[in-house]
Amino acid sequence: MSVMNVVHMRVKPGKEEEYIRLHRQFDIRALPGGRNFWVVRSGERDFIVVGEWESMEALAAARPAMIANLDRLRPILEDLGGGRGVTEPWSGEVAVHLAA
């Protein structure tokens, strides 16, 4: 079963294109078990990053690479408030997948 990780982030004003450029350099195909990777613009400066993995073990093994990528992004991210820091991450097994 597929596993997804979803992370909400907000960039500082004027940093949207840098954020997208940095994510284009992230190669999920280089990580064992990585299937797909999306960056979704969900607002003017809000983005949702979605990764698809073949298993929870593959997702867990990729965390060091994802944290390294986040470390490159930190200077251009805005605190989300409410004690969340600069990211709001979620992950889990896909419960329903409907394809066209």
pLDDT tens digits, the chain, 100 residues: what are they? 799 999 999 999 999 999 999 999 888 888 899 999 999 999 999 999 999 999 999 999 999 999 999 999 999 999 999 999 999 999 999 999 998 9
Question: Quick one: pLDDT at residue 92?
Answer: 96
Residue closest to 39 by CA, chosen among 62, 15, 64, 21: 21
Question: Quick one: pLDDT at residue 30?
Answer: 86
Place of tokens 């840098």: 18
Question: Quick one: pLDDT at residue 89?
Answer: 95
What's phi and psi for 36, nearest 5 deg?
A: -140, 160
Question: Quick one: pLDDT at residue 16?
Answer: 97
Which domains are present in the chain? 3-93 (3.30.70.100)
**N residues, the chain:** 100
pTM of the full structure? 0.91
Separation of alpha carbons 78 and 12, rounded Å: 5
Contact 28, 35 (CB under 8 A): yes
Separation of alpha carbons 93 and 59, rounded Å: 11
Output the CA torsion sign for 63, 65, 67, 70.
negative
Nearby residues of 54 by Cβ (< 8 Å), 6 or more positions away: 2, 3, 33, 35
